[in-house]
């Protein structure tokens, strides 16, 4: 008699943890200045300031970045869809040293934007191992991973009052309701602000007349 088939355990999803600007700065500062570290700093900046998925960022080529328009063209997004996203001047400034370094190393437009010392594409597994190690070096207690930088980008846009439709396009969601659920999960500011606005005087509440 054969044993009944066992269902695989559902994958455990850990709650998202949004980083503060100071934590992102500490993460970048912990990277150092060697060629791999300059590349790491640039990658963190692109993930944080554009909200790209890690696979999208690693698939970029130099031609996909337009500094004049402060934009990045994603040709192979989720579901094979392409889109153009924005990146601010600060994010581009962090990318520039890596562009200069890779050019001195002899890499050109046929090599991925974020390439190895041999001009090969980086793997998501490498980034998955590297970011937590960097976070420990930076003294960050939160769980740090590439998608968390995407969460942080979305949460900051929400906090800055950016229209949800714009955030949806930036993130590459096909449905704005997906963005709404996404933001409610990682940046529930409406709930926080509503409860924060309540008033309670603990001193006055502690003065209870004796029976």
Instruction: Write down the catalytic residue from 150, 151, 153, 158.
Output: 150
CB-based contact 127:59 (threshold 8 Å): no
- The reply to whether 104 belongs to the active site is no
Other Cβ atoms less than 10 A from the Cβ of 208: the count is 6
Cα–Cα distance, 32 to 157 (Å, whole number): 28
Query: Pairing between strand 65-66 and 83-86?
Result: unpaired
Rg (CA), the chain: 21
Catalytic residue list contains 7:
no
How many Å apart are CA 32 and CA 40, to the nearest integer? 9
Q: At what angle do helices 124-138 and 21-29 cross, to 10 degrees?
A: 100
Which residue among 41, 49, 53, 145 is the active-site one? 53
The one catalytic residue among 136, 147, 181, 185: 147
Catalytic one among 78, 101, 137, 169? 78
- Asked if 81 is an active-site residue, the reply is no
Active site residue 111: no
Catalytic (active site) residue 185 = no
Write phi, then psi, for 66 (nearest 5 degrees).
-115, 95
Verify whether residue 147 is a known catalytic residue: yes
3-state SS, residue 102: helix
Closest C-alpha to 39, from 22, 58, 63: 58
| Torsion angles phi and psi, residue 74, rounded to 5 | -100, 110
Residue positions annotated with a catalytic role: 53, 78, 147, 150, 173, 182
């Amino acid at each position: 008699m054969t044993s009944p088939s066992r269902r695989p355990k559902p994958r455990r999803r850990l709650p998202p943890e949004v980083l503060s600007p100071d934590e992102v700065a500490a993460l970048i500062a912990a990277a150092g200045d060697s060629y791999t570290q300059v590349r790491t700093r640039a990658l963190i900046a692109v993930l944080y300031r554009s909200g790209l998925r890690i696979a999208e960022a690693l698939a970029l080529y130099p031609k996909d970045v337009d500094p004049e328009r402060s934009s990045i063209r994603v040709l192979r997004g989720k579901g094979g869809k392409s889109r153009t996203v924005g990146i601010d001047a600060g994010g581009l400034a962090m990318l520039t040293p890596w562009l200069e370094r890779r050019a001195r190393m002899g890499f050109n437009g046929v090599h991925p934007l974020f390439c190895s010392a041999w001009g090969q594409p980086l793997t998501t597994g490498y980034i998955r191992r590297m970011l937590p190690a960097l976070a420990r070096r930076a003294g960050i207690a939160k769980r740090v991973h590439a998608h968390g930088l995407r969460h942080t980008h979305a949460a900051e846009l929400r906090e800055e009052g950016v229209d949800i439709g714009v955030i949806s396009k930036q993130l590459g969601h096909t449905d704005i309701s997906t963005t709404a659920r996404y933001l409610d999960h990682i940046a529930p500011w409406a709930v926080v602000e509503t409860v924060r606005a309540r008033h309670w005087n603990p001193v006055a509440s502690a003065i209870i007349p004796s029976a």
